[in-house]
Structure 1
Amino acid sequence: MFDYRKLFDLSGRKALVVGAGSGIGEAAARGMSAHGAEVICADMNADAAERVAKSLSETGGHGSALALDIRDGDAVLQTMAALSDLDVLVSTPAINVRKPLLQMTEDEFDRVIALNLKGTFRLMTAAGRTMAKRGRGSIIAMASIRALTVEPGQGVYAATKAGVLQMCRTLAAELGPQGVRVNAIGPGVVDTPLTAPISANREWYDAYAKKSALGRWAQPHEIAGAVVYLASDAASFVTGTLTLVDGGWTAVDGRFTPPL
């Protein structure tokens, strides 16, 4: 009989979290470690990765640190070659240049694409090759509500997140026969370093809060549950999906509440 108590148990699994030095990546690393996974904390900021890895070990988990820039194709390939026993990949890095499309320069466009889309492509395909050989694995990439809905100044960022979602769906179809699952998570507005420019503007911050059904921003740890779920056997028949963790933003976007 299936043991339902082990649905979310990640004991004995090795997970690589890229972008683990802060925000959603750090929360993902902490969440999977708390459920028994061995977590490799990768980040461009080696000190930040080391800080998170050390804290995992100090709280009874198993964490290690790795400096990694996913814009460096050779570094990504070398990292994956050394992780032939990888069970879970979580990809979180992204940047945003908030400008109307008519004001966006080609250099800015290329910078956002290079990290958000091409970097994620490198990670997912390199991990996918390794996992396909083993016949199992879970790849989780951070998309966004911006994969579905957009606002002025978010065009290039939104395009990358829509691209990440479609790559996840395609890779899910291509790797399903090899037992590898690929899914995307779509956070709403989350209080992270990426959104710090908005947090600094109270009017903008409050306007975003009011857009969700819950009337507030998310904290990074509120995304970790979706990561643990998709990494675990609780999601063993889940692939090619977008799991929205947006406080109801996309359900009520553009709503008007009449004076009833």
Structure 2
Amino acid sequence: MSLDYAQMFRLDDRHAVVLGCGGIGAEMVAGLAAQGARVSCLDKDLATAEAAAVRAPGGAAYPVDVLDEASVRGVAQQLGQVDVLVLTAAMNVRKRLLDYTAEEFDRVVDLNLRGTFTAVRAFAPQMVERGSGSIVVLTSIRAVTVEPGQGVYAATKAGAMQLVRTWAAELGPAGVRINAVAPGVVETPLTQQIRDQEDWGRAYAEKSALGRWARPEEMVGATCWLASDAASFVTGSQVMVDGGWTAIDGRFTPPA
């Protein structure tokens, strides 16, 4: 079936689920809704999910702990047909590897990696049965480049991308696509501690080709594209939304 160029970015009559509705997730909710999707907002904190749902006409909020497999599966069954799944839930403990505790390691790996594994396993089967669906996982520039203090987080994001690639291979024959959006440095409450330190915040800004931090809403375009028919032949990909961070060395601009 040929694409309707006038409508290929639209998500009308589709049901999108966003799991993790704070910060960037709230912008995802608003963006998907603006393209016509009916959005269900899932978050461990119900108030966070409800606040995001306000930005999506007809949106609904559900308390879901992505680490509780039974809870995730239950909501997946309750929601019925889901056409788009967006996963944003993640955490970081910024600490050098030799200083990490086993408990901190488990917390980061559980949410970032096992949480992704659990969510896709809950929602993908009905997509496979129906023969269509698009899943978008938020990874990070840390999936491909690291710095001191980011090792465990980076490992989980690289691991999540390998899951994405494997699911693309396994789910593709059934018509289900899965991709990743990899943000660079984004102005969210989680990065406030960095931006509060002038030298550190400026160094991060200057590392990218665009010379600034991203705004949360700048992650939405790539996500909506991957969710839509405009990306109908895109699967197993990681879209870098990083202002050029991973494209250049960014440490020094030599004289011409």
TM-score (norm 1): 0.95
Q: Which residue identity does 1:3 align to in structure 2?
A: D
What residue number does 1:193 align with? 189
Shift of 1:66: 1.0
What residue number does 1:9 align with? 10
Q: How many residues align?
A: 255
CA distance in 2, matches of 1:2, 1:131: 21
Native 8 Å contact 2:209 2:250 kept in 1: no
Q: 1:118 aligns with which of 110, 114, 117?
A: 114
What residue number does 1:139 align with? 135
Native 8 Å contact 1:145 1:188 kept in 2: yes
Q: Give the root-mean-square deviation of aligned CA atoms.
A: 1.1
Shift of 1:121: 0.7
Quick check: 214-223 or 82-91, which moved more? 82-91
Unaligned runs of 5+ in 2: none
Native 8 Å contact 1:142 1:185 kept in 2: yes
What residue number does 2:144 align with? 148
The answer to whether 1:228 aligns with 2:229 is no
CA distance in 2, matches of 1:125, 1:77: 8
Native 8 Å contact 2:76 2:122 kept in 1: yes
Alignment of 1:76-91 (within 5 A): 76-91=72-87
Where 2:41 maps in the other structure, the secondary structure is: strand
CA distance in 2, matches of 1:170, 1:76: 21
Native 8 Å contact 2:206 2:250 kept in 1: no
What residue number does 2:27 align with? 27
Native 8 Å contact 1:18 1:90 kept in 2: yes
- The C-alpha deviation readout for 1:56-87, integer Å capped at 9, x for no partner, is 22xxxx21111111011111111111233000
Q: Which residue identity does 2:7 align to in structure 1?
A: K
Where 1:184 maps in the other structure, the secondary structure is: strand
Q: Which residue identity does 1:158 align to in structure 2?
A: A
The answer to whether 1:252 aligns with 2:248 is yes
Q: 2:64 aligns with which of 63, 68, 71?
A: 68
CA distance in 2, matches of 1:3, 1:71: 39
Where 1:250 maps in the other structure, the secondary structure is: coil
Q: Which residue identity does 1:7 align to in structure 2?
A: M
TM-score (norm 2): 0.97
Unaligned runs of 5+ in 1: none
Where 2:247 maps in the other structure, the secondary structure is: helix
CA distance in 2, matches of 1:169, 1:246: 20
Shift of 1:254: 4.8
Native 8 Å contact 1:80 1:130 kept in 2: no
